[in-house]
Amino acid sequence: MTQAAIRLPARGLPAGQDALREEVRSFLREQRDAGLFAPGVDTWLGGFDPRFSAALGDRHWLGMTFPARYGGGGRSALDRFIVVEELLAAGAPVAAHWFADRQVGPSLLRYGTEAQRDRFLPAIAAGRCFFAIGMSEPDSGSDLASVRTRAVAVDGGWQVSGTKLWTSHAHRCQWMLTLVRTAPGRHDGLTQLLIPLDSPGIAVRPVTLMTGEHHFNEVVLDSVFVPGECLLGEAGNGWAQVSAELAYERSGPERFLSTFQLMVELCRYAAATADDRATAALADLYSQLWSLRELSIRVAAALDAGEVPDAAAALVKDLGTRFEQDCVEVVRGAAGAVPGSRLDALLWNATLHSPGFTLRGGTSQVLRILIARGLGQ
């Protein structure tokens, strides 16, 4: 019965970063004007563009929080927040490096060996090493602790068998950070392995979305040998490690900016027509977005301070993804999309993506249980 778990102090974004922001904006303008990307919705999952990721790496906008000795920028999570929100708001294609930069890097810094950090972090920061996340399985969705993919200790490493599902971009990534069971039990026997996706015994099969897009996969591991040096952290500590990882996964600006380009179009329409309904709708969405961002910055600051604000992160994700869904409906109702227009196309794409907003990274229903638990209920 305490609000402490979800009530985080306001720490604010660092001052004096206007230059960084402007640098990112000017890069985005150049790329857009050169036709190298078209602003879209949900581009952190759908916009897989290795060239774009490499360009970000060249500008030191990936791995920003990694120490310089690992090729990183040695900057705070709040500096990274600035870059990430600029990229998302612009609807830029950031999917290729997304998971590596967002959660694999921080996990390696927290739990990885020196050799692992040397091996992966510079490549991640360069935008040239992409990770998929192997958590869910055919029979383990919301109940993540029930994963059955087994890793058995063998000479020199592990032998892994099982099936991972909903593995975004596994067909295009080099590595998969994989949650496996190394001992019976629930939370106790879980372990994380860094598995090369070109290992013998791995088959990656597409699971096509209703949009026709292919980013989900089923990854079947059949007696795959994984060298011992690919163990992340401690065997048996996987649950704690994944919980920390999920706080990164759930609280970022991608949980409320996936549909921001729709708001830009609503603003364009309101400015052009002075239509009252569109103008009022714009204000209402803005007020929600602005407030979500304030909350999200708090979680980023807590993560930066080494805390694991999992209930607060769950709260941001639940609220943010509901907002994204509402945004689609509100803009559809207020912005007068003419069939065949750019807005019409964006709306259609957003509508088809929107059911996933409140599923991926933890369903809203599971998140709410986490939030209530954080509140002592």
Partner 1 sequence: MSEDPLRAAIAGLLADERNRERPSPDSAWRRLDEAGFIGIGLPESAGGSGEDLTAAAVLVRQCARFEEFSALPVGSTVLIGHWLRAAAGLPADLAPTAVAVASDLIVTPVADGYRVSGIVPRVAGARFAASLLLVAADPAEPTRVISIRDRRDRPGVSIEPNDSRAPVALDDIVLDEVAVDSGSIGALPAAARAALDLRAALLATVYIAGLLDEVLDLTLRYAGEREQFGRPISAFQMVKEMIALLAAEVMAAGAAADGAAAAAASTDQHGAEHTGAELAVRAAALRTGRAAGVASRLAHQVHGTMGVTSEYPLHRYTTQLWHWRDAGRPRFESELQLGRLLAARGPDGLWPAVAGS
Q: Which residues here bind partner 1, judged by CB under 8 A? A: 1-3, 6-7, 9-10, 12, 18, 21, 85-86, 89-90, 260, 263-265, 267-268, 270-271, 274, 276, 278-284, 286-295, 298, 312, 315, 318-319, 365, 367-369, 371-372, 375-377
* Smallest distance, partner 1 to C-beta of residue 38, A: 15
Q: Are 169 and 126 in contact (CB under 8 A)?
A: no
Residues 181/190, Cβ–Cβ less than 8 Å: yes
203 vs 372, beta carbon nearer partner 1: 372
Write down the least CB distance from residue 144 to partner 1, Å. Answer: 18
- Rounded to a whole number of angstroms, the minimum distance from the CB of residue 133 to partner 1 is 25
Give the nearest distance from C-beta 19 to partner 1 in angstroms. Answer: 11
Which C-beta is closer to partner 1: that of 226 or that of 270? 270
The C-alpha angle with vertex 204 and arms to 202 and 208, in degrees rounded to 5, equals 165
Residue 233 Cβ vs partner 1, minimum distance, rounded to whole Å: 30
Could you give the residue ranges of the DSSP H alpha helices within 34-151? 43-46, 50-58, 77-89, 95-99, 105-111, 114-125
**Least CB distance to partner 1 at residue 343 (A):** 11
246 in Cβ contact with 303 (< 8 Å): no
- The answer to whether the beta carbons of residues 242 and 135 sit under 8 Å apart is yes
Least separation in angstroms between residue 282's CB and partner 1 is 5
Task: Give 230 or 295: the residue with its C-beta nearer to partner 1.
Answer: 295
Shortest separation between residue 103's beta carbon and partner 1, angstroms: 23
**Least distance between partner 1 and beta carbon 84 (Å):** 12
Nearer to partner 1, 86 or 249 (CB): 86
CA separation (Å) from 224 to 137, 175, 195, 231, 273?
Answer: 17, 14, 9, 14, 60
Query: Judged by CB, which is closer to partner 1: 24, or 132?
Result: 24
**Residues 187, 236: contact at Cβ < 8 Å?**
no
Closer Cβ to partner 1, 66 or 357, answer by number: 357
Q: Which residues contact residue 286 at a Cβ distance below 8 angstroms, ignoring those fewer than 6 apart?
A: 263
Q: Which is nearer to partner 1, 12 or 355 (CB)?
A: 12
The full DSSP string for 317-330 is HHHHHHHHHHHHHH
Closer residue to partner 1 in complex, CB, 77/315: 315
Question: Given 3-state DSSP classes, what are the helix, strand and coil percentages for the chain, each rounded to the nearest 5?
Answer: 50, 15, 35
Burial letters for 177-193: b for 16+ Cβ neighbours within 10 Å, e otherwise?
A: bbbbbbeeeeeebbbbb
Give the dihedral of Cα atoms 255, 139, 226, 156; nearest 10 deg: 130
Comparing CB distances to partner 1, the nearer of 154 and 271 is 271
Q: Which is nearer to partner 1, 25 or 69 (CB)?
A: 25
* Residues pairing with 205 in the sheet: 218
Are 187 and 259 within 8 A, CB to CB? no
- What whole-number distance in Å separates Cα of residue 24 and Cα of residue 243? 31
Q: How far is the CB of 372 from partner 1 (least distance, A)?
A: 4
| Residue type at 347 in one-letter notation | L
CB atoms within 10 A of CB 59: 13
